[in-house]
């Protein structure tokens, strides 16, 4: 469904965002892209949706050679990809229904299809009762569900989500993950970039980890982070300039978490039966950390 071959992306100014990444994602898979900010997750998502072109390498998405296709063909590629972002990207002057219908309208779908599909997908995300509301009248989680509904309404083959729970509290995030899981169960390939340890650890899906643009781990039923000494060293090196003092090193459990203080603390019990789980981390330190595919 998605194949990346030796993909490198260097932005203007020489910033290497993605370096020599090879990745194959099969139809129907659910894949987490994890890694610290700036590790290249978002760039990878942008490359997959052909918002950017790789500097080197080839990308195939939904059977199309995305990295080599002409610009005018991009809209057709996009119709087989749904996209969800951290900031929802809803239109404030349109209702929930209109926001979702917009995706079908602008791709020229007949009105009968719109009238049929929009209520269906609103039901899927549990927003049937809010169809006539405006985004500002909704909570963050509800807004994100609208944006998922919009991404899914034309039944794309692939759903790309760039930190969809980044602005949401843990309990709300659980609701979002349930919906993404449900969408994945319909056969849709889901690729989700995230910082959210709890979610990744609870879902136990394939985890692809990036560090400074390189793919450092690709693991079935993975967790957010397992630190080999080297990976930990890299993280520390990255975090060093920040105000986190080396002190936490004394405690083997803290350094794993502390650099990511921005991410939500204890996840909701429904998803993660072992909330804020430091024990698993302590238990798993030497577990084959780098199975680069």
Binding residues for other proteins, rule: CB under 8 A, are: 49, 71-72, 74-79, 81, 83, 89, 91, 102-103, 105-108, 150-151, 154
Residue with tokens 């024990």: 279
Please state the closest distance from residue 82 (CB atom) to other proteins, in A.
8
Identify which of 27, 19, 65 has the alpha carbon closest to the alpha carbon of residue 43: 19
Pairing of strands 30-34, 56-61: unpaired
**Whole-number minimum distance, CB 99 to other proteins, in Å?**
9
CB of 81 to other proteins, least distance (A): 8
Cβ nearer to other proteins, comparing 87 with 237 = 87
- In whole angstroms, the minimum distance from the beta carbon of 151 to other proteins comes to 8
Distances (CA, A) of 93 to 41, 96, 98: 31, 10, 9
The C-alpha atoms of residue 165 and residue 140 are separated, in whole angstroms, by 9
Q: Could you tell me the smallest distance in angstroms from the CB atom of residue 177 to other proteins? A: 22
What Rg value do the Cα atoms of the chain yield, rounded? 19
Q: 201: burial class by Cβ within 10 Å (0-12, 13-18, 19+)?
A: buried
Which residue lies nearer to other proteins by CB, 77 or 216? 77
Taking the least distance from each CB to other proteins, the nearer of 81 and 96 is 81
Query: For other proteins, which is the closer residue by CB, 109 or 212?
Result: 109
* Nearest residue (CB) to other proteins, 73 versus 204: 73
The answer to whether 218 and 290 have CB atoms below 8 angstroms apart is no
- 15 contacts: CB under 8 Å, gap ≥ 6: none
Q: Minimal distance in Å, beta carbon 89 to other proteins?
A: 6
Stretch (H or E) spanning 190: strand 189-194
Q: Which is nearer to other proteins, 89 or 115 (CB)?
A: 89
CB 34, min distance to other proteins, A: 23
Question: What whole-number distance in Å separates Cα of residue 106 and Cα of residue 114?
Answer: 11
| Closer by beta carbon to other proteins, 143 or else 219 | 143
CA distance 207 to 215: 11
**Which residue reads 């090193």 in tokens?**
249
> What is the rounded CA–CA span in Å between residue 189 and residue 157?
6
């Amino acid at each position: 469904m998605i194949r990346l071959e030796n993909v490198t992306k260097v932005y203007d100014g020489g910033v290497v965002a993605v370096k020599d990444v090879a990745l194959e994602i099969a139809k129907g898979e659910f894949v987490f892209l994890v890694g610290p900010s700036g590790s290249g997750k978002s760039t990878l998502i942008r490359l997959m949706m052909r918002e950017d072109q790789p500097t080197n390498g080839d990308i195939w998405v939904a059977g199309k050679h995305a990295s080599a296709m002409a610009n005018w063909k991009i809209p057709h590629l996009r119709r087989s990809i749904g996209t969800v972002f951290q900031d929802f990207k809803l239109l404030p002057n349109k209702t929930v229904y209109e926001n979702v219908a917009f995706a079908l309208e602008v791709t020229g779908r007949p009105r009968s299809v719109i009238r049929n599909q929009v209520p269906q997908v609103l039901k899927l995300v549990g927003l049937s009762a809010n169809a006539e509301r405006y985004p500002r009248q909704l909570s963050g989680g509800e807004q994100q569900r609208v944006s998922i509904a919009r991404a899914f309404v034309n039944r794309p083959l692939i759903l790309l989500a760039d930190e969809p729970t980044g602005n949401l509290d843990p309990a709300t995030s659980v609701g979002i993950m349930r919906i993404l899981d449900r969408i994945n169960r319909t056969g849709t390939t889901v690729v989700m970039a995230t910082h959210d340890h709890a979610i990744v650890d609870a879902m136990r899906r394939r985890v692809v980890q990036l560090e400074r643009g390189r793919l450092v781990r690709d693991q079935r039923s993975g967790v957010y982070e397992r630190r080999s000494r080297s990976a930990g060293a890299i993280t520390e090196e990255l975090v060093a300039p920040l105000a986190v003092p080396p002190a936490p090193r004394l405690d083997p459990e803290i350094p794993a978490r502390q650099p990511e203080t921005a991410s939500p603390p204890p996840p909701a019990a429904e998803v993660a039966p072992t909330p804020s789980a430091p024990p698993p981390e302590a238990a798993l330190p030497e577990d084959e950390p780098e199975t680069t595919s």
